[in-house]
């Protein structure tokens, strides 16, 4: 897949998604998970967090795990170490998310196989905010 094909695919994902769960969200506004969650809220997404240690990250409601979220999730955006990915896979599959997105620096090819086998689109080692900007900047440049 070339870069423009990848951007088109990611743009389609981001434009159809409505709800995003941030796994590993922090209460600390200066942490990347929180900064990106706030960015996604500003861009119009319904964002919830997943972190068993907190109830809210600012105005964002936080649940102890994915299965506690009482509505469908389009994208599960993960801010956990690569070696932690196996521990969340069952919940990702049970939640029937459309996309599992592992943030920049996070990749675990073996752990994501069950999600791929269930038809969940997997994106690894990419920052969702960076790709949002790339997709919409590229799209806006295409219109000029």
Domain span at residue 46? Answer: 3-143
> pLDDT tens, position by position, for the chain (144 residues)?
568 898 999 999 999 999 999 999 999 999 999 999 999 999 999 999 999 999 999 999 999 999 999 999 999 999 999 999 999 999 999 999 999 999 999 999 999 999 999 999 999 999 999 999 998 875 554 444
The CATH number of residue 134's host domain is 3.40.50.720
For residue 18, what are the CA distances in angstroms to 13, 24, 98? 10, 19, 11
Report the chain's C-alpha Rg in angstroms.
Answer: 15
Number of domains within the chain: 1
pTM for this entry: 0.93
pLDDT of residue 137: 77
Q: Are 58 and 109 in contact (CB under 8 A)?
A: no
Measured in whole angstroms, how far is the alpha carbon of residue 109 from the centre of its chain? 17
């Amino acid at each position: 897949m070339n870069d423009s094909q990848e951007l088109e695919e990611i743009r389609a994902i981001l434009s159809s998604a409505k709800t995003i769960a941030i796994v590993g969200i922090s209460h600390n506004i200066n942490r990347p998970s929180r900064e990106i969650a706030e960015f996604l809220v500003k861009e119009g997404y319904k964002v919830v967090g997943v972190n068993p240690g907190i109830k809210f990250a600012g105005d964002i409601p936080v649940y102890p795990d994915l299965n506690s979220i009482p509505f469908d999730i389009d994208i599960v955006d993960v801010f956990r170490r690569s070696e932690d990915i196996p521990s969340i896979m069952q919940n990702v599959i049970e939640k029937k998310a459309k996309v599992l997105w592992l943030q920049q620096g996070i990749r675990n090819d073996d752990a994501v196989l069950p999600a791929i086998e269930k038809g969940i689109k997997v994106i690894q080692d990419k920052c969702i905010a960076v790709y949002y900007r790339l997709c919409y900047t590229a799209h806006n440049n295409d219109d000029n």
